[in-house]
Amino acid sequence: MKTNDPLQELARLASENKPETFEQWLRIGMDSGGIAAGAERLLSACRKLVEDHNLPCEIQKSGSYGYAYLDPLVEIKSKSLPPVLYGRVTPEKVSSVTLDHLSAEKLADDHIIASRQYGTALTDPTQSILVLDTSCEEGDKTKFFQSSFQDEIASKLPDSSLSVVRALDMGIYHEGLVVQLLPSRVTYTNVLSRDISRIVTTSLGENKVLKDLLWTKPDPQCRIVLRNCGLLDPEHLGEALARGTYRGLAKALAKNSPDEAIREIEESGLRGRGGAGFPTGLKWKLTREPKADRKFVICNADEGDPGAFMDRSILEGDPHAVLEGLLIAGYAVGANKGYFYVRAEYPLAIQRIQKALEDARQCGLLGENILGSGWSFDAEIRLGAGAFVCGEETALIASIEGCRGSPSPRPPYPSVEGLWGYPTCINNVETLAAAPWILDHGAEAYAQHGTGSSRGTKVFAVTGKVQNAQLVEVPMGTSVHEIIYPICGGVQDQAHIKGVQTGGPSGGIIPENKLETPVTYENLMQLGSIMGSGGMLVMDERDCMVDVAAFYLKFCVDESCGKCAPCRVGGYQMLQLLLKITRGRGSVEDIKQIERICQSMQKASLCGLGQTAANPILSTLRYFRDEYIAYIEGGTAYARKRKKLLSQGESLQQAS
C-alpha cells in the first residue's frame, strides 16, 4: 500500500473540494428547531423571491447557531455589508428583510441578532448603529430611541449617511438601552436620553470611544464543540474541510502513534459528556490494551434526556466533526469499525450523518488507507427505536446486536468485552466532537478552559421558564447563575427563579441559593445533582417540585426495562406513593417509605437507570421537603387548590 503524508493529503482534498465563494448569499438555519419554526417555508419563500426579483444571490443551508429562541434564522451577505444574522424571520417578513439588505444594502429593522464579539476600539468610522431597549420595563422604548438618534444625527451631522436600526437581540439583557456601532461592534449599555448627543458628537463625529458607557465584558460563551454549528452547510464536505475539519485526524495519523493521540486526550482532561464524566483518555487506553482480532468504537447518539437537544444540534449542524471524532477514537483504540447509534426520532440527524459518511468515503476519509496513512476504518449507522435504557452502554450494545435493549451486569466492561464480545469504546456525541479540536489545537489549549478536574467547555440546552431557551457552550466552572441570567436573559415574565434541574431523569435540582456554584462534575454531585448530558431546566416560583419529581419518576418507570426487581417494582411503588401525596392523601410515613425505596433502588438496581431514578426525588426532598409536607398537611383541599393554581399559572404564561 502506498502511504503518503496525511496532512498533505488533507490539504489536497481541501483544495479539490474548495467551496465556491459568492459575493451575495443568504443562509437559512435548517436544523430541526428551525424547521419546526418554519425554516422550510422560509426557504421556498426565499427561492421565489430570488427568482421573482432576479437577485444574484446564492441560497444556502446551515445547521443551528443554538439560538433556539430566535428561530428561524437567516444570515445574509450583500455586496458591501458584512454578513448579518437575522432572527424570527417569518416567510411573510422575509421579502422585506431580504430586499432591504440585498437590493438597498440597508439593515432591516427588528430582526438583527448582534454579534457577541463586542469591540472596544473605534478603528473604522461607524456606518450603522443598532439600538435596543433591553430594560424589559413596560413599553419598549427602542423606537423612541431610534428616532432620537436619527434627529440628533440629522442636526449634528447633516451630511452623514448613517443608519439607525432597531435590533432584535444584542446578547445583553437588562442593561437599559444598548447601542452597538458597526462595523467596530463598540457597544454602549444603559444609555440614557442625555447620552445620545454625546455619542453622536464624540463617537460618530470624532470617532472616539466613550469609556463610561462602554461594554467591556467579554462573551462568557466559548464555542469549541459548537465551533462550526450555524457557520457551514452540514451537507457539504468542502465547507467542513475549509473550516479545518479532519485536521485533528490528519495530525494524529501523521504522528503515526495511537498512544500519542491517547496521551493528548488524557492531558486535555476531557471527560465523557454523556453523563458519567469518565475520563475519555483513560477509556481509550482501556480499550486499546486488550489484544483482540476486532475492536469497535460507537458514537452514542441516543440522546435520552427528554428535554435536551445538544447532541442532535451538533449532529445536525456539524456531522463531520463527530465523524472525525469517531475516526480518531477508532485510530486510538485500534478499531477498524465504528457505529453511530442514533435515535430513530432524529431523522434529520440520521440523514446528515449518512451524507457525511458517503462524502467521507468518496474522498478517502473513510474506508481503506485513510488519507494515505495505511490505516483503514469504516463506519455505519444503527438506529435506536425509542428506548431510553438503550443509552446505557450494555443495553446499547445489545440493541446494535439486534436484540432487546436490556442492560447486563458490569464487569465485564465494554472496553474488555463489548460488541459481539470484542473490546468496544462508547463515547457521547459531544465528547467525540471535542476530541478533534483537542488534537488540532493541543491539549493545553483545551485544558486552559475549566477548573479543577473539570476541563474544557460544556454545551447545555437551557429550557423551561427561561427567557431565551437555547444552546449555550461555556467553560466548565461557569456558574449556573451566569448561564441563566447574563447569557439566557433570566427568567420569563420577570418571575422569581426557584431552581434549575440538571441531569434530566438521573439528575437533581439546584435551588436558588446555590445558583452561584461553579458548574463542575464534583460540585453538582455535592449538591445532589449530576452534570448529566447537559439539559438545564429552569423553574420559577409557580412550578411544583413534587409534580416535577413525579414527572421524571414516571419517565423512568415507563422506560424501565423490567429486568431487575428494585427498579421495576421499586419505581412503580414509589410513583404510586408520590401520586398519592400529590392528591393530598399522603402521610409522613409515605415520605419515609419513599426514602427507603430510593435507597434500595440506588444500591440494588442493575443499571444506571434504576440506580439514578431516585435522584430527582431525593433532591426535591432535600431542598423542597416543605412542598411535600404542605400536600400532606393540606390534604385534598390543598391539592385541588394547587392544581388550579398551576393551570392558571400556565394560562398566564401563554397569554404573555
Partner 1 sequence: MEAATLPPLEEMDETTRDEIETSVAKWKDAEGNLIMILHEIQNRHGYVPRASSLLLAREMNIPLARIYEVLTFYHYFRLVPQGDHNITVCNGTACYLKGSGRLLSELEKQLGIKDGETTEDRMFHLETVRCIGCCGMAPALVVDKKTIGKNSPMDIPPILEKIRQQEKTHEDQ
Ligand X SMILES: Cc1cc2nc3c(=O)[nH]c(=O)nc-3n(C[C@H](O)[C@H](O)[C@H](O)COP(=O)(O)O)c2cc1C
What span, in angstroms and rounded, lies between the C-alpha atoms of 141 and 132?
Answer: 8
What's the min distance (Å) between Cβ of 573 and ligand SF4?
A: 14
What span, in angstroms and rounded, lies between the C-alpha atoms of 291 and 282?
Answer: 17
SS3 182: strand
DSSP conformation class of 108: P
Cell 432524529: give the residue. 346
Choosing among ligand SF4, partner 1, ligand X, none, which partner's interface includes residue 285 (Cβ < 5 to 8 Å by kind)? Answer: none
Choosing among partner 1, ligand X, ligand SF4, none, which partner's interface includes residue 605 (Cβ < 5 to 8 Å by kind)? Answer: ligand SF4
What's the min distance (Å) between Cβ of 580 and ligand SF4?
A: 22
Per-residue contact string for residues 491-520; x = within reach of partner 1 by CB under 8 A: ----------x--x----------------
The answer to whether 294 and 337 have CB atoms below 8 angstroms apart is yes
Question: 80 vs 102, 103, 108, 174, 521, CA distance in Å?
Answer: 9, 11, 15, 33, 47
Grid coordinates given for 74:
437567516
Residue 329 binds to ligand X (criterion: CB under 6 A)? no
SS3 76: strand
The answer to whether 508 and 479 have CB atoms below 8 angstroms apart is no
454-455 vs 470-475, strand pairing mode = unpaired
What span, in angstroms and rounded, lies between the C-alpha atoms of 469 and 133?
Answer: 20
Cell 463610561: give the residue. 212
Residue 378 binds to partner 1 (criterion: CB under 8 A)? no
Is residue 561 exposed (0-12), middle (13-18) or buried (19+ Cβ within 10 Å)? buried
Residue 274 binds to ligand X (criterion: CB under 6 A)? yes
What's the min distance (Å) between Cβ of 121 and partner 1?
A: 35
What span, in angstroms and rounded, lies between the C-alpha atoms of 125 and 117?
Answer: 18
Choosing among ligand X, ligand SF4, partner 1, none, which partner's interface includes residue 393 (Cβ < 5 to 8 Å by kind)? Answer: ligand X
Residue 506 binds to ligand SF4 (criterion: CB under 6 A)? no
Cell 461607524: give the residue. 126
Choosing among partner 1, ligand X, ligand SF4, none, which partner's interface includes residue 606 (Cβ < 5 to 8 Å by kind)? Answer: ligand SF4
Per-residue contact string for residues 397-416; x = within reach of ligand SF4 by CB under 6 A: ----------x---------
- Please identify which residue in 247, 271, 563, 642 interacts with ligand SF4, judged by CB under 6 A: 563
Is residue 643 exposed (0-12), middle (13-18) or buried (19+ Cβ within 10 Å)? middle
What's the min distance (Å) between Cβ of 606 and ligand SF4?
A: 4
Residue 276 binds to ligand X (criterion: CB under 6 A)? yes
What's the min distance (Å) between Cβ of 417 and ligand X?
A: 16
Q: Which is nearer to partner 1, 238 or 414 (CB)?
A: 414
Residue 557 binds to partner 1 (criterion: CB under 8 A)? no
SS3 205: helix
Q: List the strands of the sheet with 337-342, edge to edge.
A: 378-383, 337-342, 296-301, 424-428
- Please identify which residue in 126, 300, 468, 470 interacts with ligand X, judged by CB under 6 A: 300
Q: Which is nearer to partner 1, 225 or 561 (CB)?
A: 561
Grid coordinates given for 381:
449507522
What span, in angstroms and rounded, lies between the C-alpha atoms of 617 and 597?
Answer: 11
Phi, psi of 292 (to 5 degrees): -155, 155
What span, in angstroms and rounded, lies between the C-alpha atoms of 216 and 2?
Answer: 54
Per-residue contact string for residues 20-59; x = within reach of partner 1 by CB under 8 A: -----------xxx-xxx----------------------
- Please identify which residue in 562, 588, 599, 644 interacts with ligand SF4, judged by CB under 6 A: 562
- Please identify which residue in 606, 614, 617, 621 interacts with ligand SF4, judged by CB under 6 A: 606
What's the min distance (Å) between Cβ of 328 and ligand X?
A: 13
What's the min distance (Å) between Cβ of 564 and ligand X?
A: 13
Grid coordinates given for 307:
428535554
Choosing among ligand SF4, ligand X, partner 1, none, which partner's interface includes residue 647 (Cβ < 5 to 8 Å by kind)? Answer: partner 1
- Please identify which residue in 171, 330, 405, 499 interacts with partner 1, judged by CB under 8 A: 405
The answer to whether 110 and 132 have CB atoms below 8 angstroms apart is no
Residue 652 binds to partner 1 (criterion: CB under 8 A)? no
What span, in angstroms and rounded, lies between the C-alpha atoms of 174 and 350?
Answer: 40
Cell 435540582: give the residue. 509
Per-residue contact string for residues 600-619; x = within reach of ligand X by CB under 6 A: -------xxx----------
Number of helices and strands (H, E) in the chain? 23, 20
Residue 610 binds to ligand SF4 (criterion: CB under 6 A)? yes
The answer to whether 291 and 215 have CB atoms below 8 angstroms apart is no
- Please identify which residue in 609, 617, 621, 639 interacts with ligand SF4, judged by CB under 6 A: 609
Residue 338 binds to ligand X (criterion: CB under 6 A)? no
Task: Give the H/E segment covering residue 348.
Answer: helix 347-362
Q: What part of residues 202-261 is at the interface with ligand SF4 (CB under 6 A)?
A: none
Grid coordinates given for 621:
426532598
Residue 567 binds to ligand SF4 (criterion: CB under 6 A)? yes
How many residues touch ligand SF4 under the rule CB under 6 A: the total is 14
- HSE of 519, CA atoms in CB hemisphere, 13 A: 31
Residue 524 binds to partner 1 (criterion: CB under 8 A)? no
Choosing among ligand X, partner 1, ligand SF4, none, which partner's interface includes residue 276 (Cβ < 5 to 8 Å by kind)? Answer: ligand X
Interface residue list for partner 1 (CB under 8 A): 31-33, 35-37, 68-69, 71, 305-309, 312-313, 344-345, 380, 382-387, 399-405, 420, 461, 463-465, 468-470, 501, 504, 535, 537, 539, 543, 548, 551, 561, 647, 650-651, 653-654
Interface residue list for ligand X (CB under 6 A): 272-276, 278, 283, 300, 302-304, 388-389, 391-393, 426-428, 431, 533, 607-609
